[in-house]
Structure 1
Amino acid sequence: VCLRLAKLTAAVLLSRDVPVHLFSSFIPTPYVPYAVKKLGAAAGVMITASHNPKEDNGYKVYWCNGAQITSLHDKEILRCIEEQLEPWSASCWDVGLVDRCSLRTDPLTQINSCYMDELASLCFHRDLNSSSPLKFVHSSFHGVGHAFVQQAFRVFGFPPPIAVPEQKDPDPNFSSVRCPNPEEGESVLELSLLLAERENARVVLATDPDADRLAVAEKSDGCGWKVFTGNELAALLGWWMFFTWKENHSEPADARSIYMLATTVSSKILQAFARIEGFHFEETLPGFKWVGNRIHELSQTGSRVIFSFEESIGFLCGDTVLDKDGVSSAAVVAEMAAYLHNKHLSLSQQLHNIYQTYGYHLSKTSYVVCNDPPTIQRIFSRIRNFDGSGSYPKTCGGVQIVHVRDVTTGYDSSQPDLRSVLPVSRSSHMITFTLQNGIVATLRTSGTEPKIKYYTEFCAVPGQSEVSTLEEELRKVTAALVDEFLEPEKNNLIRRLV
């Protein structure tokens, strides 16, 4: 179906004499924004449902800057659709144009070659990689990542990772997993972990079906497997990207020209890095489209973004692609793991070191499913009028709420003018509570799935190391956030299966 929709999109453009670069085979999603910039295209389209259910399909649009379109462009596209509900002519549906029109080219070889050449700029320890005894397992989750991750490993000097055979080839039915989303953790990584045990591999890498996101698990000494959350991986990758950048820039003043970015529902760990190390940190609205466009804006002023992430295992090392990229992230994680292994450190041990230096950042992220849109509206309306008309909740789990930010309405009680610094986003609900004990909690609706997502984080100061106490406080607030504000049983919400 993806191929047919891609050919149909190309045929519509070719029928109006617009030159089209149509890839001849499956590619990772980040190849499209990369190609838009590399080829100077006016726009890019990726047909993918990514990790969503097999019945779904998706149409992802990039603008000429190589970043996903934001609300100005999508409104204009919608207006054009509504004005032109009848196809121009029968030739619009003629997918045969794709094979016979001279305006159609296949950029696969050129783009793949250029991408891999530029990927080498993220590799700093090739000799160490080639001699590392570490073994890696990779699953492409029945998607497109296999061949590209294998190539990326070669670029970094590694032998190829051990592929999970049942999951290495594209399969639209996702036959071996109950859910094709590696973010779900150990329950969907079963085949990868079993193979890693058999092969004595310490690190498992899993790209999602369209290879723009990455999950990582590490074998712990004597206690099973540690599957890293997106926030934990971001702490490791953020540390690594700054560490390797610093190795190549001796002047501390240089740090003032570099940035790291994260979406607002993601961990604030990069903010803690920035505070101590002297570089810039910025937040964007949820969704990598905001990150990609901000990277582009900063590049216009001579600033460089060296790392960006969103908590849902979306990472971007460097700024070559203006979207999250599971292929490059897999190679970078492998190099980081090999470097640490050479220093007799695991990824988990280094994460602990990072928290010791910059402060523990403990987070919980999950969701409830709600298949009834009016119920979602009712839930958020109740929150906005919790203590009377226009009055938000004042406590959560017995802890006082000191600030409320509602991006949907543009309200932020922490600002002098009570207006949110982040752009207003009326298309979805998102409310953030800052509690007196330092916990930050957010409730938001998903843009692509029938879910209400929730995020909580405890940001401790460096030296505060009573982790079990912090975890218990975070657990209590998270449970109260869900039970008091979402009322799952009353509203027939389905809690996430862990």
Structure 2
Amino acid sequence: MMIHDGFNQWRKLETLCDEDRKKLLNMTDEEMKDSFYQELAFGTAGLRGKIGPGTNRMNEQVIARATRGLAGVIEKRGQKAMDCGVAIAWDVRERSERFMEVAASMLASCGIQVHIFSGIRPTPMLSFAVRELRTQAGIVVTASHNPKEYNGYKVYWKEGSQIRDDIADEISREIAKFDYSVWPEKSFDEYKDEGFIHIIDEALEEKYYALTLAKAVEEDIKKDISIVYTPLNGTGNLPVRRVFKARGFDNIHLVEEQTEPDSSFKSVGYPNPEDFKAFEKALALGKEVDADILIATDPDCDRVALVAKDASGEFIPFTGNQTGALLLEYILSRREVKGDLPANGAVVKSIVTGDIGRRICDHFGVAMFDALTGFKNICALANEWDDTGAYEFLFGYEESIGYVYGDHVRDKDAVVTSMMVAEMAAYYLSIDKRLPEVLGEIFKAYGYQGEKLLSVVKEGQEGQALIQGIMADLRENPISSVESLKVEKVVDYAEGVEGIGTSNVLEYRLDDGSCFFVRPSGTEPKIKLYIYTNDKDEEKAKEKIEWIESAVLRRFDLK
């Protein structure tokens, strides 16, 4: 009954675009059910969903209502917060610019100043803009690496990092005060003419680039390194190429079909560089031009993946954990040699990221902290240290190919990371080493880390129920052993962990030092299994991965 009520209410909305009205009137019963069985939940990742009409979809009405909720939270903080305003960026996805216009207009209709870029920009530049302009909040319209059918809406707070639970909950309470008919009083162009909506000055972008380039560690490197780069039809094309050029990396080969913005992502399909399939065209070009490394950034250019050629000429893809370990070892070792590694330096990783980074940090005397999944939590510690001065934030990363180096951005940043990956690869080539060889040396020095990430997608209402059932059953009947390995400890983050926080994550620690995590995704309809194994024998470590994977899949009938 509620589904049909929602459908009938939406048919009466005058603000529906022609495309959504047509989709609404031609919905099957199944499409209606999936579009209206729930509201898109506003969480610490904001909103994300498939584009289309309905309460469970991304559309202008959902954007307007969410932004009215955000405006209510800002209004409560007084006129100063309203004058500081909100910065907004958007990416290449379908309707992203239109969603930006609706959000900007809604804020302006509430008397809140808005700052927008002159066109598509990478997500990290929005984080920088919030910090530089000292706005009260920021918005990025993006679905990051999701399939083309998706779009999203991420909210940032005044520190330049994504909102955490307290602010998200406050916004959610404000959103609930409004229905889907809430709408700006005037048009985007009218508010722009009235001075409520401002174009961000190019000087801000120039400062972002200057601070990014200032993070360089080594200049005595092999600048003619051959690099294949693909922005996967996203926002990374101009920013990443600019920093490459400024650093003197001129031997850049672009995947032409994936260079220009394209909301259909027809050249790549699923624009997630974490999936090696996204490198298909980059790999072909790499072989053609005899590249040393391949770099891909996701559509909003906050995540970056790496493939590197080994001594035999084979191209080896690196996981997020491996790239993180390489960057940590490179940055900390070179800065130690140069004598500018701070005594109170600190690195932050997510709880589901492997522990090899901790061993690297221990070696260099750098503190390592764990945070809940997501850069909102990783950067929360950097925000805290701004106030306390307890540590100097050096580097943050998570296994899902997100990294940030330095403190001018408080989110993962594929622009500075791409620059550092190129520098790192060029440095090692200068001393006749390739990245796969360097990774082997890291494993030899710190111990081999076996790893695997398994994601099981469960769409719709039934899928959500299944995922919730899996987590409930794990809590009621925890796994006690895997083959010959005994479970020594189970950590339920839903109960809260001191110094880290609360999240719907289960961690299993085994008696040989291996571990695995089970976590429902906060942004996608999937449940994730993260597996990490330790052993002096690489093959034995891989065998243990198979044991754990088989045990969990068998337990929940997911094969």
TM (norm. structure 1) is: 0.89
CA displacement, residues 3-60 of structure 1 (integer Å, 9 cap, x when unaligned): 0111111112222332211111000011111100011111100000111121211000
| 1:247 shift after superposition | 2.9
The answer to whether structure 1 residue 198 and structure 2 residue 288 are counterparts is yes
Distance, in Å, in 2 between the alignment partners of 1:397 and 1:25 is: 55
| 1:87 shift after superposition | 6.2
CA displacement, residues 191-224 of structure 1 (integer Å, 9 cap, x when unaligned): 0011111112111000001100001101233363
Q: How does 1:68-467 map to 2 (within 5 A)?
A: 68-85=162-179, 90-91=184-185, 94-107=187-200, 109-129=202-222, 132-159=223-250, 161-185=252-276, 187-222=277-312, 224-249=314-339, 255-302=342-389, 303-371=391-459, 372-386=463-477, 392-410=478-496, 421-425=499-503, 429-459=504-534, 464=536, 466-467=537-538
| 1:318 shift after superposition | 1.6
1:403–1:83 distance in 2 versus 1, CA, 3 Å: same
**Structure 2 spans left out of the alignment, 5+ residues:** 1-94
Distance, in Å, in 2 between the alignment partners of 1:114 and 1:324 is: 18
CA displacement, residues 45-77 of structure 1 (integer Å, 9 cap, x when unaligned): 000011112121100000001110011001100
Aligned residue for 2:150, secondary structure, equals: coil
The answer as to whether partners of 2:393 and 2:406 remain within 8 angstroms in 1 is yes
Distance, in Å, in 1 between the alignment partners of 2:299 and 2:183 is: 35
* Structure 2 equivalent of residue 492 of structure 1: none
| 1:94 shift after superposition | 1.5
The answer as to whether partners of 1:31 and 1:111 remain within 8 angstroms in 2 is no
CA displacement, residues 247-280 of structure 1 (integer Å, 9 cap, x when unaligned): 3326xxx654000110000011121122222110
Distance, in Å, in 1 between the alignment partners of 2:474 and 2:313 is: 41
CA displacement, residues 338-374 of structure 1 (integer Å, 9 cap, x when unaligned): 0000000001111111122222222111211122111
| 1:134 shift after superposition | 1.3
Out of 358-367 and 475-484, give the one that drifted further: 475-484
Distance, in Å, in 1 between the alignment partners of 2:449 and 2:239 is: 33
Distance, in Å, in 2 between the alignment partners of 1:26 and 1:333 is: 24
Letter in 1 for 2:215: L
* Structure 1 equivalent of residue 39 of structure 2: none
Sequence identity, in percent?
30
The Cα RMSD (Å) is 1.8
The answer to whether structure 1 residue 479 and structure 2 residue 554 are counterparts is no
Distance, in Å, in 2 between the alignment partners of 1:318 and 1:247 is: 18
The answer as to whether partners of 2:319 and 2:401 remain within 8 angstroms in 1 is yes
Distance, in Å, in 2 between the alignment partners of 1:90 and 1:294 is: 37
| 1:398 shift after superposition | 3.9
1:86–1:370 distance in 2 versus 1, CA, 3 Å: closer
Distance, in Å, in 2 between the alignment partners of 1:243 and 1:205 is: 23
| 1:133 shift after superposition | 2.9
The answer as to whether partners of 1:337 and 1:347 remain within 8 angstroms in 2 is yes
Letter in 1 for 2:443: Y
Distance, in Å, in 2 between the alignment partners of 1:79 and 1:158 is: 49
Out of 156-165 and 42-51, give the one that drifted further: 156-165
| 1:458 shift after superposition | 2.0
Distance, in Å, in 2 between the alignment partners of 1:319 and 1:208 is: 21
CA displacement, residues 259-315 of structure 1 (integer Å, 9 cap, x when unaligned): 011000001112112222211000000111101111111222222111110100001
Letter in 2 for 1:403: K
Out of 140-149 and 238-247, give the one that drifted further: 238-247
The answer as to whether partners of 1:443 and 1:453 remain within 8 angstroms in 2 is yes
The answer as to whether partners of 2:226 and 2:290 remain within 8 angstroms in 1 is yes
Distance, in Å, in 1 between the alignment partners of 2:191 and 2:221 is: 46
The answer to whether structure 1 residue 14 and structure 2 residue 89 are counterparts is no
| 1:125 shift after superposition | 2.6
**Structure 1 spans left out of the alignment, 5+ residues:** 387-391, 411-418, 490-498
Distance, in Å, in 2 between the alignment partners of 1:328 and 1:177 is: 24
Out of 392-401 and 44-53, give the one that drifted further: 392-401
Distance, in Å, in 1 between the alignment partners of 2:361 and 2:417 is: 21
* Structure 2 equivalent of residue 34 of structure 1: 128
Aligned residue for 2:214, secondary structure, equals: helix
| 1:108 shift after superposition | 5.2
Out of 192-201 and 298-307, give the one that drifted further: 298-307
Letter in 2 for 1:128: I
Distance, in Å, in 2 between the alignment partners of 1:330 and 1:171 is: 21
Distance, in Å, in 2 between the alignment partners of 1:86 and 1:456 is: 42
Aligned residue for 1:261, secondary structure, equals: strand
1:158–1:476 distance in 2 versus 1, CA, 3 Å: same
Distance, in Å, in 1 between the alignment partners of 2:414 and 2:433 is: 24
TM (norm. structure 2) is: 0.79
CA displacement, residues 447-473 of structure 1 (integer Å, 9 cap, x when unaligned): 11111111111245xxx4x22222222
The answer as to whether partners of 1:153 and 1:160 remain within 8 angstroms in 2 is no
The answer to whether structure 1 residue 44 and structure 2 residue 122 are counterparts is no
CA displacement, residues 364-394 of structure 1 (integer Å, 9 cap, x when unaligned): 11211122111112222221222xxxxx221
Aligned residue for 1:453, secondary structure, equals: strand
The answer as to whether partners of 1:14 and 1:97 remain within 8 angstroms in 2 is no
Q: How does 1:47-62 map to 2 (within 5 A)?
A: 47-62=141-156
